Homo-oligomer: A and B are copies of this chain.
Amino acid sequence: MARKTNPEFMTGVPELLVLRLLSDREMYGYELVQAIETSTGEAIKVGEGVVYPILHALEAQGCLASRRKAVEGRMRIYYSATAAGKKRLGALMTEWQRITDAVATVVRGSKHAKA
């Protein structure tokens, strides 16, 4: 079961984090990669190959808005969460809570867990 790709418990997490971070302030791709790493205390690290496809997909769905900005001769594309994006974030957090709560119940030894 040694996963190299799709590691344990990571499905959907990058998208959740991106949406959450972009709800606070606008950021560009390269910045997000590092923000995810620092904000999680090095616990979670994702590559650019993970972030960029998510940004493009979310923007195509109208969950993100982007604007180009030249900084020090380099081109940056800043993304921020739209209303639809925040709505989607809420749905993702609800789902995240649902799963984590369920797992916690079982892990804590839910004796009969019937009634």
Copies in the complex: 2
B-chain residues with CB within 8 Å of residue A101 when the two chains form the complex:
43
Known A43-B98, A113-B41; contact A106-B20, beta-carbon cutoff 8 A = yes
Interface string of A60-95 (1 = CB under 8 A from B): 010000000000000000000000000000001101
Interface string of A26-58 (1 = CB under 8 A from B): 000000000010111101100000000000011
Which of B36, B92, B107, B114 has a CB less than 8 Å from the CB of A8?
B92
Chain A residues touching B, range = 35 or more
Assess whether B103 is in contact with A96, with CB atoms less than 8 Å apart. Answer: yes
**Known contacts A40-B102, A43-B101, A44-B103, then 18 further A-B pairs from the complex at CB < 8 Å, ordered by chain A residue:** A7-B11, A7-B12, A8-B95, A9-B99, A13-B99, A13-B103, A16-B103, A20-B106, A20-B107, A24-B109, A39-B105, A39-B106, A39-B110, A40-B106, A41-B113, A43-B99, A43-B102, A93-B107
A residues sitting closer than 8 Å to B (CB atoms) are 1, 6-13, 15-17, 20-21, 24, 36, 38-41, 43-44, 57-58, 61, 92-93, 95-96, 98-103, 105-107, 109-110, 113-114
